[in-house]
Amino acid sequence: MNTKILIVLALVMAVIAGWFFYKQDSVTPTVNIAPSEVDYEATEIKAVQTNDEGETEYELNADSLTHNPTTNQDEMSGITMDWAPGTEQRYQISAGTAAINQQTGELKLTGGFVLTSKGTAEGATPIKVTGQTLFGNTKKRAVYSKEPVKVEQGDNRFEAASMKADLEAGDYEFGQVAVTFMPAARQDAKLF
């Protein structure tokens, strides 16, 4: 009788094991690892670029950086850049993402940008430009946007359909400017 119980118990165990084996999902397919388009990656980036005279041209902070060898671009997210393209002008640029080609100096900021001047000239009122996409060239010290931008300088505010700026000279050019003029409240006063 002990042998019969052991045989039945072995059959029950075999049936249960077969059922578990049957109910298991199919084996996951093998992972196909393709060559990466990324040369290197880094996080919490702090970089300094100098000009030919050894003076700091810009300081860059980014949350992350990847280098794409196909396009030879550094692609970054969460950037803040302090840029001094000339002796009289300083700027701070922040954006959601950026792509910079170190060889050509081409720059593309996307995901919203803020460009703020910090002129060193006495009495200069800072100008702040915000928009979605900004293109530029760090070697030519120029930026432009073909998309709408908002501009603030002191109490003055306006919107423009496009913008070009020579950051070294501090010259801005805006296309199709829209201004809302709010005159002072009228105050009636006696003349005599």
| pLDDT, tens digit (0-9, with 9 covering 90-100), for 1-42 | 578 787 888 888 888 888 777 777 555 666 666 666 666 788
User: Residue 178: is its pLDDT beyond 70?
Assistant: yes
pLDDT of residue 31: 67
Highest mean pLDDT among 46-60, 67-81, 123-137 belongs to: 123-137
Which residue has better confidence, 124 or 35?
A: 124
Tokens found for residue 27: 């084996």
Rounded CA separation 16/160 (Å): 73
Q: Is residue 70 part of a domain?
A: yes
Q: Is residue 104 part of a domain?
A: yes
Which residue has better confidence, 93 or 85?
A: 93
User: Residue 98: is its pLDDT beyond 60?
Assistant: yes
Kindly state the helix (H) or strand (E) to which residue 100 belongs, with its residue range. strand 91-100
Which of 101-105, 107-111, 134-138 is the least confident region? 101-105
How many structural domains comprise the chain?
1
Q: Is residue 162 part of a domain?
A: yes
Reported for 142-147, long-range contacts at CB under 8 A and 24+ positions apart, including other chains, are 142/166, 142/167, 143/107, 143/115, 143/167
Q: Is residue 88 part of a domain?
A: yes
In the block, tokens 């969460």 appear at 78
Rounded CA separation 65/74 (Å): 7
User: Residue 88: is its pLDDT beyond 80?
Assistant: no
Range of the domain at 105: 40-178
pLDDT of residue 36: 62
Exposure letters 140-173 (e unless 16+ CB within 10 A, then b): ebbbebeebbebeeeeeeebbebbebbbeebebe
Residue 92 CA: distances (Å) to CA of 13, 80, 104, 119, 126: 72, 7, 21, 11, 11
Whole-model pTM: value is 0.68
pLDDT of residue 132: 93
Q: Is residue 28 part of a domain?
A: no
For residue 136, what is the domain's CATH number?
2.60.450.10
Stretch 104-125: mean pLDDT, rounded? 82
Q: Is residue 16 part of a domain?
A: no
Stretch 52-78: mean pLDDT, rounded? 83
